[in-house]
Structure formats: C-alpha cells, structure tokens
Amino acid sequence: MELFNRVGRVLKSQLTHWQQQQEAPEDLLERLLGEMELELIELRRALAQTIATFKSTERQRDAQQLIAQRWYEKAQAALDRGNEQLAREALGQRQSYQSHTEALGKSLGEQRALVEQVRGQLQKLERKYLELKSQKNLYLARLKSAIAAQKIEEIAGNLDNASASSLFERIETKILELEAERELLNPPPSPLDKKFEQWEEQQAVEATLAAMKARRSLPPPSS
C-alpha cells in the first residue's frame, strides 16, 4: 500500500491552479502543509483505533483464559471428591473456553500486524511532513522553477507522495480481507465435521481427566 498518493494529487492540482490563477507559491506550500497535517490527524486516529481494538481483543482472550482455568480447578475439586462425571462436565466447559482463547489469540496476531503497518505509515508521513516543513524555502524555489518551466508532472512525480486518505476504509477493507481469507481457508464445517469436532473435544476432555486421575494416584514425594 503506497503512503502518499493523495498528497501528490493535491500538489499536482495546486500547481495547475497556481499556474492558472497566479497564486503565490508561499500560499501553495502552506496549503499543502495543511493537507498533510489533516492526513496526520486522520492517521493518528486510525492508529489509536487499531490499538484500542487490539487491547480489547487481548482483554477478551485473557478473560476467556481465566474462565477456562477456573473450570479446570472445579474439575479438579470434583475429582478430589470422587465425582468423576461432574469433573468430566467441568472439563467440557473448560474445553469450550480454551477454544475461544485460541481463536482470539490468532486474531490478536493479525491485529498486531495491522497496528505495526499503520504505525509505519504514520511514521513515514510524519517524516515527509517534517522534511517539507523544514525545507520549505528549498521546495519553494523548486516550485517556482517548475512553474516557470511548466514541469508540473516532474515535480509531482519527484515528491514521493502518498496518503493516509480514507485510512479507516482501508483498515476495514484489510480486516474484511483477513476475514474472507479465513473463511476460504476454513469453510463452514459439514455435519460430519461437527461430529468429529465434538468427538475430538470429548477425547481432549477424557485425556485431561485421565491425566488428573494419574497425578492423584502418584505417591507423595519423600521428605
């Protein structure tokens, strides 16, 4: 994804307008800086939104993990009291929360990558903005020269432009792409798949229960 396309289009449009209306080049650069400031504001908001979503998902995962641990402890307590059936039911509940925890963990990985992508775009645009602001006089001289020589396309192409424009829409598109990709890789399970999934979950419960019983039968450590 390119970062500065819109800034390039804005500059090209402003150069054309300047040539036609004989607008002061200082005004043109101030307008361009203003456009970039608005882009920075939008990009910072987008970064804040992606970080907030990441932290919310992280809290959900931690909560699911905690509930799964509590069900494990309940299963252990039931087994200690000789109620194997109740322990089995508690482990079934625990398995459900464990599955949710794993799904949220996968989503966190995708969201973390998106946060880093947006942060990188913000840093790149900030550098470009500071460069333009600190070298305004140099750019002003170049703009005057470009207008005099009618080299609008050359200057517009040399500014290595891109944009954070409509970033919220692009983030949403990226999320939808990830979700669509996940759906393609993981199509809805058939009834038979569901039966196997339930069977595998039950096997996991039985394995955990057997491990708990085995630990209870071990002799205590010698002092």
What is the domain partition of the chain in residue ranges?
5-214
Q: Is 99 annotated as a binding residue?
A: no
Question: What pLDDT does 162 receive?
Answer: 47
The tens digit of pLDDT for each residue in 101-160 reads: 999 999 999 999 999 999 999 999 999 888 888 877 777 776 666 656 555 455 555 554
Q: Is 13 annotated as a binding residue?
A: no
Predicted confidence band of residue 26 (pLDDT cuts 50, 70, 90):
confident
Confidence of residue 174 (pLDDT cuts 50, 70, 90): low
Check the annotation: does 163 bind a ligand: yes
137 among the known binding-site residues?
no
Q: Is there a binding annotation on residue 74?
A: no
Q: Is 160 annotated as a binding residue?
A: yes
Residue by residue, DSSP assigns the chain as --SBHHHHHHHHHHHHHHHHHT--HHHHHHHHHHHHHHHHHHHHHHHHHHHHHHHHHHHHHHHHHHHHHHHHHHHHHHHHTT-HHHHHHHHHHHHHHHHHHHHHHHHHHHHHHHHHHHHHHHHHHHHHHHHHHHTHHHHHHHHHHHHHHT-HHHHHHHT--B--TTHHHHHHHHHHHHHHHHHHHSPPPPHHHHHHHHHHHHHHHHHHHHHHHHHHHSPPPP-
pLDDT in tens, 33-88: 888 899 999 999 999 999 999 999 999 999 999 999 999 999 989 988 889 899 89
